[in-house]
Amino acid sequence: MDCGECRIHVTSIAARACYASPQFSARIPHLAASDPAARHGRAEAITGIERHEWPAVILAFAYFFLVLAAYYVLRPVQQQLSAASGVQALLPFYTATFIATVVLTPVYGWLVARFPRKRFVPVVYVFFIVNLLAFIPAFRAQGTLDPEILGAVFFVWMSVFNLFVVAVFWSFVADIFSADQAYRLFGIVALGGTLGAIAGSLLTKWLVHIIGIAPLLAVASVLLAGAVACILGLVGWSRRHPVAHDAARNEAVIGGGFWAGAKEVARSRFLRRIAILIVLGDSVGGVLYNLQTDIGHHYYPDGAARTEFFANVDAATNVLMALLQIFVTRVALTRFGPAPSIAGTEVVKFLTLVTLALIGQPAAVAAALIVTRAGSYGINNPAIDSLYTRVDRETRYKAKGFIDTAIWRFGDVVVVATLQVLRDFGATTPLLASLASLASISAVWLAWRLRTMPEMAGSAQAKPAS
C-alpha cells in the first residue's frame, strides 16, 4: 500500500468513526435515522453502482479478471513455443491461424445466432478447459516433440481460444446490462480485466520455475472454471433484473454475420479507414513481435527461461497499460475524441520506433514493444472501439466481427511474409524499426483525417457513408 492509499484508508476510517458517533448523529437527526441508506447513497455517488447492481458488477469484474488472467498465463507459453521454433516458423503459424479464423468465424457466428448465451457461453468455456487438460501430456513431452508441430497447433488453438473465450466476454456482458448501466459500470468491469492481465503475467513468472510449463495449463483451466461460475451467476442475476423488463433477453441469441460484415466494410469508406488503421497498428506490432521472438530464440535456449522473459514483457506492458487507462485514456477520449487520441498515441509510437532504429539493441526492442503495445491496448483499442458507435447497431456488430478476425489475421500474414523476405535480404533491426515507424506516421495522418468524416460529425447512430 503506497502513501496515497494510506491517507485514503485513514481518512475513510476517521470519516466512518465521525459519522457513527452519537454526538454527530444527534446534531444531524436525519443521518441518525437513515444511516444505512446514507451509506448506500454515498457509495452510489462515488462508484456509480446502484445497490441491486453490486452482485452483477462483482461477478462481471471477477469474470473478466479470471478470463484475462487465464489468457496471460497461456500467452507466454505460446510465445516461448514460437521462439523455440524461430522466426522462420512464424509465417506458417500465422497462415494456419488465418485459415482457421476464416473457417471458424462463420461457425462461431452460426452458433451464437442459434443458441442463447446461457447455454452457448458456459459450454464453450468447458470445451476449452477440456482442451487445455488434453494439451498437458504434449507439453510434458515438449523436449521430445517437434517444437514446430506443437507450436503450430498451440498457436492456432490460442487464436481460436481468443475468438471464442476472450472476445465473447463483452458480447456477453453487453446483453446483461442496459446502455445506461454500460456507461456507468463498464469502466469498473474493464479494470478487472486489466488487473487479471497483470496477475496472469506475474503468476506465470512466479510459477514457471516452480511447477514447470505443462502445469501452467492446469492453472489456466482452474481460472476458466471460476469464470464459468461467474457466467452462471450473471445469468441468474439477469433473470432477476432483466434489461428494460425484457425477461426473454436471457434467451436471446447474439446474432451477427461474417460475410455480411465483409460487405459492410467494402461499401463504407469510414469502416475501410478503421480497417486500415488496425492493419497499420498490426504492422508495428508484427515487426516488434518478430524481433522479440528472435530475442527469445537466441538468448533464452531454455523453455522456462523463455516463458519467464515473455511473462516479464507482458507484465510490464499490462502495468503501463493500466496506468494509461487510469490517467490518460478517459481524459483523452472525453476531451479530444477518438481520432486525435489515436493520432497522439501513434506519434509516441513513431518516436519510440525511431529511437529503436538508432539504438537497435535487444533491450531497446523489449522497451519499444512494451511502450507501443501498452499504447495500442490502453488507448488505441478503446478509441477505435468507440468509433464503431458512429454506425448503427447492425453494421457495428457485423463489421467489427469481420475486421477483428479476417482483416486482422490477414494483416498478420502479410506483415510476417514481408518481414521474412526482408530478413532474407539481410534486413537488420534498425531497418525494420524504420519501416515500422513509417506505418505509425501513416496511422497519424489517417487518424487525423478521420476527424473530417461525416460519421464523426453526426450522431452515434448515423449510417456509414459509402
What pLDDT does residue 166 have?
Answer: 78
What pLDDT does residue 269 have?
Answer: 93
What pLDDT does residue 374 have?
Answer: 93
The pTM (predicted TM-score) of the whole model is 0.78
Tell me how far CA of residue 193 lies from CA of 67, 72, 338, 380, in angstroms. 8, 11, 21, 17
Tell me how far CA of residue 40 lies from CA of 23, 49, 445, in angstroms. 22, 10, 48
Q: Report, in angstroms and rounded to the nearest whole number, the Rg of the chain calculated over CA atoms.
A: 24
What pLDDT does residue 285 have?
Answer: 94
Residue identified by cell 483451466 is 221
257-466 CATH: 1.20.1250.20
For residue 136, how far is the Cα from the chain centroid?
25
Mean pLDDT score of the chain: 82
Q: Rounded to an integer, what distance in angstroms lies between the CA atom of residue 73 and that of residue 211?
A: 13
Q: Where in the sequence of the chain do the CATH 1.20.1250.20 domains occur?
A: 51-255, 257-466
Spans of the chain below 70 pLDDT: 1-48, 112-113, 117, 143, 179, 182-183, 243-258, 393-394, 397, 458-466
CATH 1.20.1250.20 fits 51-255, yes or no: yes
